[in-house]
Amino acid sequence: MYKRILLAYDGSEAGQKALLDCRDIAHWSQSAIFLGAVMSMSVGVMGIEGGYYSSEMIDQEKDRYQTTLNDGLRRLAEAGYQARGEVLVGEVVPEITRYAGTMQADLIVVGHKHLDNWAARWWRGSMSSTLIEHSPCSVLVVITR
């Protein structure tokens, strides 16, 4: 069964639900849990106005992701689970699949929120379906509405 689970964690409502499901699966299968929070460089390097952020601003953004990751690790620790985590820097799907391969994950867990607005669905695309196509292992998509 699953021995190494990677949770793609972003602290969102969908991510929180995925954390709970991941915890349940880890308990059932006696798995090690790893959290990966991906800081996209397209967001971290280039601002909304098209200007570039300074290295100080990038460090602040990385600290924000580390805080989110630490919160997820704390929630798991409070529930009696030991987990490790890492802030990954790059594009979400390639970074998650690379990290999953490096840590030899058996399962990737990711949260997904259904969007009601068709324009929002079109604009955002589906990270979950892209992850499934490129994953080196099974993927569990935890749905929230």
Quote the pLDDT of residue 130.
86
Question: Residue 66 half-sphere exposure, CB side, CA atoms within 13 Å?
Answer: 6
The residue with tokens 């409070």 is 78
- For 65, residues 6+ apart whose C-beta sits below 8 A from its C-beta are 37, 38, 39, 87
Q: What pLDDT does residue 117 have?
A: 56
Region 4-144: CATH code: 3.40.50.620
Q: How many CA atoms lie within 13 A of 58 on its CB side?
A: 14
pLDDT average per 10 residues of sequence, the chain (145 residues): 91 86 88 92 53 75 92 92 93 94 95 62 63 92 83
Distance (Å) of CA 28 to CA 13, 43, 71: 23, 37, 23
Neighbours of 90 (CB within 10 A): 16
